[in-house]
Chains A and B, each alone.
Chain A
Amino acid sequence: MAVGKEIRTQIKSITNTQKITKAMEMVAASKMRRAKERMDATKPYAQKMRNVISHLAMAHPEYKHPFLQEREVKRVGYIVISTDRGLCGGLNINLFKEAMNSMETWHEQDIPIDLCLIGAKAEAFFKRIGNIASSVSHLGDTPHLDTLIGTVKVMLDSFYDGSIDRLYLVENEFVNSMTQQPRVSKLIPVEPSDEDELKHHWDYIYEPDSKEVLDGLLMRYVESLVYQGVVENIACEMSARMVAMKAATDNAGDMIDELKLIYNKARQAAITQEISEIVSGAAAIG
C-alpha cells in the first residue's frame, strides 16, 4: 500500500537522528564522568598553591612582586576558556555574553582589551571583536599544562612589561551536571586572602632568592588556575552536551510519535475509503 510513503521515510530519518543523539548523549555522559575525575584531581594542587600564596602574602619578602600590587588600569587582558566543538547547548554563548558584559565596562572608559583565547569557539567568536594576543585550541579531552604555558606566558609577559594592568579569567564553573555557571574573575593582581593565622612577623628562607622564587611561584599559580579552568570547562562541555542531546533525543521521540499518529490516521482513512468503495461497488452490481 502506497499510503504515507513520505511519512514513513520521514519517521525513519528522524529515528536515525534520534539514534545519533542518543549515542552522543551516552558518550558525553561517560566522558563527563572522566572529566569530573580529572577536575577533582587538579584540586589538591590549586588548594596547596593557594595556601602557599596566602602564606607568602603574610610573609614579608624584601621584593615586592608586581603581581601583588594594584596599579592604575590603562589596558586590560582577558583569558577566555571555551570549548572546541559545538552541540553543547548555550554553554559558550552564555560564557561569551558574560565576557562581553564585563568588557563593556572597560569599553565605556575607553580602555583597550587584549584577549587570550582558549578553544576554537572563542577564536571564532572574538576574532571580529577584539585584539587577540595569544590563542590555543584543539586541546582534546585530556589537556596538558604544557600546551597552555606559552599561551598564558604571553599575557603574563605583557603584565610584566606594563602593557596590561589587569588580567581576568572568563570560565565556566561546574556547579553540577545540570548547571554550569559562567564566571569572570580577576587573576592578577592577586587578591590577598584574609586568613588570620600566622599574623606575627616572620619570613621564609628563599632559595635562590625571593625574586626568583616569587616569579616562579606566581607564574605557576596563574597557570594552574587557567589549567583548572580548562579542565573544568571540559566537564562543563560534556555535561552541557549530555543535557542538550537528551533534549534532542526527547524531541525526536515526540516528533516520531506525532508522525506515527498522522501516518496511522492516513492509513485508516485509506482503508475506510477502500472498504466504502468496495461496498458501494457491490451495491451497484447487486
Chain B
Amino acid sequence: MAMTMHVDVVSAEGEIFSGTAEEVFIPAELGEIGVLPRHTPLISRLKPGEVRVKMSGEETSIFVSGGMVEVQPHVVTVLADTGIRAQDLDEARALEAKARAEEAMQSQEDTIEFAKAKSELLEAMAQLQMLEKIRKKAR
C-alpha cells in the first residue's frame, strides 16, 4: 500500500477538507510545492491558488485565497484565509477601526437610547402604580 499522510484544510469560518492523501500540491509563496509523506517539517505562507489533494488516482482541488501551511512528516495543515489579505488593505482597515473608535468617543450620550429607556421606565412605573391601586380596590 502506498504511504499516505493526513491533510487538513481549515479556515477560521469552518473546516474545508479533512482526509488522507498520497500527495498534496500547495501554492506556497515561493512557488507551488508537491508534498509527499515524510516530508521534512516546513512552514510557509500561501499565495492565492489551488490546493490539490491526490488520493488513489483521484484529485480534489480546493481554492484558497492565501494563508499558511504547516508540513509535518505525516500531517499537512493548511490554514486558509477567508479573504484577500494585503499589507495596505489591512492598513486601511486599521485606519477605519481607529476612526470608528474616535467617533464612539466623541458621540454624546446615546440620546435616543436614553430617551427610549426612560419612557419604558415611566410606562412600567405607571403600570405598577395602577396594579397597586387595583389591588387595594379589590381588597
Closest to A217 in B: B68
Partner of A207, one of B8, B44, B81: B44
Question: What class of interface size applies to chain A in its complex with B?
Answer: 35 or more
Taking a contact as CB atoms under 8 Å apart, the answer to whether B12 and A134 are in contact is no
Contacting residue for A117 out of B77, B82, B101, CB 8 A = B101
Is B42 a contact partner of A52 (Cβ separation < 8 A)?
A: no
A262 x B101 contact (CB < 8 A):
no
Which residues of B in the span 7-57 have a Cβ within 8 Å of any Cβ on A?
A: 8, 10-15, 18, 28-30, 40-45
Nearest residue (CB) in A for B70 is A52
- Is there an interface contact between A227 and B43, defined as CB atoms closer than 8 Å? no
Chain A residues lying within 8 Å of B95, measured Cβ to Cβ, are 150
Contact call A124/B82, Cβ cutoff below 8 A: no
Is the C-beta of B104 less than 8 angstroms from some C-beta in chain A? yes
Chain A residues whose CB sits within 8 angstroms of the CB of B70 once the complex forms: 51-52, 55, 204
Task: Please tell me if the beta carbons of B45 and A208 are within 8 angstroms of each other in the complex.
Answer: yes
Q: Which B residues, 42 to 101, have Cβ-Cβ distances below 8 Å to chain A?
A: 42-45, 67-68, 70, 72, 77, 79, 81-83, 85, 90-98, 100-101
A134 and B101 form a contact (CB under 8 A): yes
Chain A hits for B101, CB < 8 A: 116-117, 132-135, 154
Majority secondary structure of chain B interface residues (helix, strand, loop or mixed):
mixed
Q: In the complex, what residue of chain A is closest to B89 when comparing beta carbons?
A: A149
In the complex the two chains form, is A44's CB within 8 Å of B15's CB? yes
* B76 CB to nearest chain A CB (Å): 11
Question: What 14 new A-B contacts, CB under 8 Å, besides A153-B91, A204-B41?
Answer: A7-B134, A10-B130, A44-B14, A45-B10, A45-B11, A117-B101, A127-B107, A145-B81, A149-B85, A151-B97, A207-B44, A216-B45, A217-B43, A266-B138
Identify the A interface with B (CB < 8 A).
6-7, 10, 38, 41-42, 44-45, 48-49, 51-52, 55-56, 59, 116-117, 123-124, 127, 132-137, 144-146, 149-151, 153-154, 157, 202-208, 212-213, 216-217, 220, 223-224, 227-228, 255, 259, 262, 265-266
Interface residues of B (CB under 8 A from A): 8, 10-15, 18, 28-30, 40-45, 67-68, 70, 72, 77, 79, 81-83, 85, 90-98, 100-102, 104-105, 107, 110, 113, 127, 130-131, 134-135, 137-138
* Sample of 14 A–B contacts (CB below 8 Å): A6-B134, A7-B134, A10-B130, A52-B43, A116-B101, A127-B107, A134-B98, A135-B101, A145-B81, A149-B85, A150-B93, A154-B94, A213-B43, A266-B138
